[in-house]
Structure 1
Amino acid sequence: MTRVIGLISGTSVDGIDAALVDISGTDLDIKVELLAGKTYPYPAELRESILAVCAEKAISMAELAELDDAIALTFAQAAQNIQTGYQPATLIGSHGQTVYHRPPVKARGQRGRGAGEDNSFLGYTLQLGRGDLIAYLTGITTVSNFRVADIAVGGHGAPLVPRVDAYLLSHPEEARCIQNLGGIGNVAYIPPRRDHWLEKMRGWDTGPANSLLDLAVEHLTAGAKTYDEDGKWAAMGTPCHALVEQWLQQDYFHLPPPKSTGRELFGVDYLQQCLKAAEPYQLSPSDFLATLTELTAASIVQSYQTFLPQMPQGVFLCGGGSRNLYLKQRLQTLLGTIPVLTTDEVGLSADFKEAIAFAVLAYWRQLGIPGNLPSATGAPYEVLLGEIHQPLRVERK
């Protein structure tokens, strides 16, 4: 049994999700027990700085270094706080805060070439909150920078959670979709657990989940609110389906997996495009939020219908958007008879599943077990994910 802390802040930049878990086993026999889970909000000034960088504000290298350290310090504090009242953890898996993500631009399966040659097909990703500082501040071995190894071999570095979902949430007879609803949505399609099932898994970023909704709420309230609690405001409106159909023509929704995206596409500029497109329809604020919610739901269902080998027998939601009752209702309506549940209902916390996943990925890294799923990320083969930072001091004689 290994006690591990998982830490992540997603594209919504709400704060740091921390999970304290006990882990045993390796893959199909892996067992995870959630001891504690909590979200630690970012200080307002730090959140504003992160969002500004995500919106492509130019900053100096000195400012970038300060931001990196500030995020690491906040992550380290979250790791220390989540252990209060428990025996301490021996390992941390820290995803950090994504501030930039660029998917690969050439076909899947191409390999890098020699130094100085064209490697423009490679993706690039940057997560701040450096692991070496977290290890030093907490005194706990820390695994961080999980995405770069997959990207280095030609993958997207995202989504990374499907392999964890496979071992924790698969079913012997049932095909399932595990749909994360963070700032960006991503899906793991898990076929029944038989006949080389892991090779048949699929995963990709479905597009916006909460990102546009949260930005719209901030815009509509002049910053007084940052999200629509339970989707209550959107539920008061009526979606404009003509506008949704127009938005669904966006190239990303028609790009076949493997694929990944982020605020670089579905961010502030995209919201401004949505607002401009909505002007002729004279929508009320609640109608506009209902329409953005419909875009999230419709884009998810369209991607299932287009890219899955078969529709699932159940959809299990996780992430902050799983608490948006209006979004859940719209997904259920569009999916018809396919039940839409949360991962809580199959024994895995919907609120902290992503943090739990990065605890598992750190655990696998320490054991030398690959963490990526090539059918989801587009990498040509499995790789070890994460860089290990030891907090050990060298004693000199």
Structure 2
Amino acid sequence: MRIIGLMSGTSVDGIDAVLTEITGEGYEIEVELVKGITYPYSDNVRSQILAICANQPVTLMELAALDDAIAQQFIQAIRALESDLTSIDLIGSHGQTLYHRPPSNSQLGYTQQLGRGDHIAAATGCMTISNFRVADIALGGQGAPLVPLIDACLLSQLENDVAVQNIGGIGNVTYLPAWDRGAKREDLKPESAPKNIMGWDTGPGNALLDWAVTTLSNGEKSYDQHGEWAAQGRSNQSLIDQWLQQSYFQLAPPKSTGRELFGADYARQCWQIARSQKLSPEDFLATLTDFTAATVELSYRQFLPQLPKEVLIGGGGSRNRFLMECLERRLPECKVHSTDDRHIDADYKEAIAFAVLAYWRWHGIPSNLPSVTGASRSCLLGEIWEP
């Protein structure tokens, strides 16, 4: 099937759009990336998203208008792929997360992604699947991360265990025990999925860094390209140790997080502490970058049964050379490198994942992992919108 996958994450840096060819049955799939692009949000839409994520008030009328505007930007991203839409079988759209609240003992979980799958279907004439997280949350799950089963099917190794670490605005890990993903199976039931997979959100990825770069450059920059600015500074380990005391890092999986915790308010607190200790902008960026690496290391050492032989990095963080150096230094027992080396484009890995989730939804294949999200059972993910 020819499927377009769409994803915009917590970095809010644009919409990743991919055209894929997916074949196979159940969990034995092959995915070919035909084309991928990143379509930037307009400054107006991006600023509105970030404002709401920073808890600025919004009316229902304004929220509805933003929902429409995000959907329109997603449609423009689809058109920018320059694909013949009459040849597209499905579109899988994650949408843009505005709010995510994991379940707790005192309240149900809640998640909200904008970007109207119904409007995308009508505008493109293509069957569209969206709203992937709510079914898992309805079953008591975190609704995140949703990529571990895809990681298992595309990246597990026959003899070695692997950690697949995505670093977008927020970081998340999938731990994959050795698994023969090429073995033939007689059924396509959830029981045929790989066993003992683990996954959770490790904490901040690029969200704090992007806020810091935007603030320190007075808006002239929105991210630290290749980590070059941070590389000019020196990391402050005592600050990192202080920040690692945040209760989220001690919480055992299943767990998920977002800008609700690691957003602008958190970043401002970090900057105030750094200024009180007279850190330069370069030292602050170096410390924030190393902090992201430290949260990954802490997660692995606390919660994994053992350190993996290999750590595969996806997302924008894989392009940050200074961050990759920090990860290599903190995880010397592991081979740390990009998912590019395993033929999964690190820039488009998450968009590819939502193309796969759409493929599974259309074929009636459960795609959440209760062992990862905490849901009471496996289920189908995503709502189907007819064109």
Q: TM-score, normalised by structure 2?
A: 0.95
CA distance in 2, matches of 1:245, 1:134: 45
Q: Given the alignment, which residue of 206, 209, 233 partners 1:213?
A: 209
Is 1:276 matched with 2:272? yes
Q: Given the alignment, which residue of 315, 333, 348 partners 2:344?
A: 348
Output the amino acid matched with 2:175. Answer: Y
Give the structure 2 partner of residue 101 of structure 1: 100
Output the amino acid matched with 2:95. Answer: G
Do the aligned partners of 1:19 and 1:34 also contact (CA within 8 Å) in 2? Answer: yes
CA distance in 2, matches of 1:167, 1:224: 41
CA distance in 2, matches of 1:237, 1:88: 50
Q: Deviations for 1:245-274, whole angstroms, at most 9, x for unmatched residues?
A: 000000000100000000000001101110
Q: Given the alignment, which residue of 310, 323, 330 partners 1:327?
A: 323
Q: Given the alignment, which residue of 236, 252, 258 partners 1:262?
A: 258
RMSD: 1.4
Output the amino acid matched with 1:23. Answer: I
Q: CA deviation at 1:77?
A: 1.6
Give the structure 2 partner of residue 152 of structure 1: 138
Name the SS of the counterpart of 1:362 in structure 2.
helix
CA distance in 2, matches of 1:70, 1:85: 23
Give the structure 1 partner of residue 174 of structure 2: 188
CA distance in 1, matches of 2:62, 2:276: 42
Q: TM-score, normalised by structure 1?
A: 0.93
CA distance in 1, matches of 2:383, 2:269: 39
CA distance in 1, matches of 2:276, 2:237: 14
Is 1:162 matched with 2:158? no
Q: CA deviation at 1:157?
A: 0.2
Q: Deviations for 1:277-301, whole angstroms, at most 9, x for unmatched residues?
A: 2133201101000000111000101
Give the structure 2 partner of residue 116 of structure 1: none
CA distance in 2, matches of 1:257, 1:326: 28
CA distance in 2, matches of 1:243, 1:255: 20
Q: Deviations for 1:210-234, whole angstroms, at most 9, x for unmatched residues?
A: 0000000011011111000000000
Q: CA deviation at 1:28?
A: 3.8
Do the aligned partners of 1:16 and 1:75 also contact (CA within 8 Å) in 2? Answer: yes
CA distance in 1, matches of 2:193, 2:61: 48
Q: How many residues are aligned here?
A: 377
Output the amino acid matched with 1:148. Answer: V
- Unmatched segments (≥5 aa) in structure 1: 107-119, 392-397
Deviates more, 1:323-332 or 1:80-89: 80-89
Name the SS of the counterpart of 2:100 in structure 1.
strand
Is 1:34 matched with 2:20? no
**1:374-393 counterparts in 2 under 5 A?**
374-391=370-387
Identity of paired residues, percent? 58
Q: Given the alignment, which residue of 131, 141, 162 partners 1:176?
A: 162
Q: Deviations for 1:83-128, whole angstroms, at most 9, x for unmatched residues?
A: 437873110000000000011112xxxxxxxxxxxxx532100000
CA distance in 1, matches of 2:110, 2:134: 8
Output the amino acid matched with 2:71. Answer: A
- Unmatched segments (≥5 aa) in structure 2: 182-191
Deviates more, 1:274-283 or 1:297-306: 274-283
Output the amino acid matched with 1:64. Answer: L
Name the SS of the counterpart of 1:200 in structure 2.
coil
Q: Given the alignment, which residue of 278, 283, 287 partners 1:291?
A: 287
Q: CA deviation at 1:27?
A: 3.5
Q: CA deviation at 1:82?
A: 1.1
Q: Deviations for 1:1-20, whole angstroms, at most 9, x for unmatched residues?
A: x0000001000000000010
Q: CA deviation at 1:374?
A: 1.0
Output the amino acid matched with 1:138. Answer: T
Q: Deviations for 1:347-367, whole angstroms, at most 9, x for unmatched residues?
A: 111110100000000010000
CA distance in 2, matches of 1:283, 1:197: 48
Output the amino acid matched with 2:29. Answer: I
Name the SS of the counterpart of 1:198 in structure 2.
coil
CA distance in 1, matches of 2:69, 2:260: 22
CA distance in 1, matches of 2:383, 2:85: 26
Deviates more, 1:268-277 or 1:194-203: 194-203
Give the structure 2 partner of residue 250 of structure 1: 246
Q: CA deviation at 1:162?
A: 0.5
Do the aligned partners of 1:27 and 1:167 also contact (CA within 8 Å) in 2? Answer: no
Deviates more, 1:333-342 or 1:80-89: 80-89
Give the structure 1 partner of residue 307 of structure 2: 311
Name the SS of the counterpart of 1:72 in structure 2.
helix
Name the SS of the counterpart of 2:195 in structure 1.
helix
Output the amino acid matched with 2:155. Answer: L
